[in-house]
Amino acid sequence: MAAELRKEIENGVYRPGTMLPSLDEIGARFSVGKATASAAIKILEADDLVRTYQGRGTIVADRRPVAVPLSRYASVVEPGGQLGPWQTACQQAGVNGDMVMLDIGEQAAPADVAAALQIDPGTPVVRRDRHATIDGEPVQLHTAWYSAALVAGTPLAGRARVEGGVYGALTAAGHRPVTADEAVSTRAATREEAAELHLREGAAVLIVERITRDADRQPLEFLRVVATPRRTTLMYDDLPLAPSLQR
């Protein structure tokens, strides 16, 4: 049953965002009881093909990834823009994306954050926690740290939404982002991450760590992203090759 329904989902019989038949209808189609039909749906849920919502039924998941080129960040650092990098990437992918602020506060810099920002451990930093969403559903968990002295008096130190994105706010404050170092890895999701991203505990997630620097190579931001792989494609376009490789 699950294999047949999976084939129909992949062939477009049931398109992303549409409802699957009810358990009674599936049971009648395959001549099985409701419990067996429910077991087939759970297999599809485990494969991240569908989502079941209490009182709404089972909906086919949208699996279109959003491509986020690193170079895109260079095009949105001017102040005054309305869309940040994630919203821009979602718009171009044809999906409804947003950044949702969860929490902001000041803390003493942990060792890894201090090393990334080139400050002493325990130095005050501003931490901002956000969700990158598609159709209201979190697909990325963003945690960013900034030296508290650097962002004091700017929108990055406040709780209001930062229109135009973080890089635009940094530029407006006189700290123009110029370069970024980025490391990408993968690991199993923690229980908390899986709950936030609506994944199975232990499912693979992408980990992106980015240090953004100004023209003097001073760190402006340390960002850690935990992302759902099926909805996130990282693009690194127009990378220069070493002269020895161009011969």
Residues 96 and 133 both lie in one domain: yes
The answer on 41 and 70 residing in a single domain is no
Written as six digits, the tokens of 104 are: 């902001």
Phi, psi (degrees; rounded to nearest 5) at 71:
-65, -20
Give the pLDDT score at 82: 65
Least confident of 16-20, 159-163, 216-220: 159-163
pLDDT digits (tens, 9 = 90+) for 17-55: 899 999 999 999 999 999 999 999 999 987 778 888 888
Domain range for residue 54? 2-60
Cα–Cα dist 96/90, whole Å: 6
Which CATH number does the domain housing residue 48 bear? 1.10.10.10
Torsion of CA 206, 143, 190, 134, to 10 degrees: -60
What is the pTM for the complete model shown? 0.78
Both structure tokens of 99: 């950044």
The answer to whether residues 56 and 95 belong to one domain is no
The pLDDT value recorded for residue 79 is 45
Whether 154 has a pLDDT exceeding 80, the answer reads yes
- Mean pLDDT on 167-195: 91
Render the burial of 34-57: b for 16+ CB within 10 Å, e for the rest.
eeebeebbeebbeebbbbeeeeee
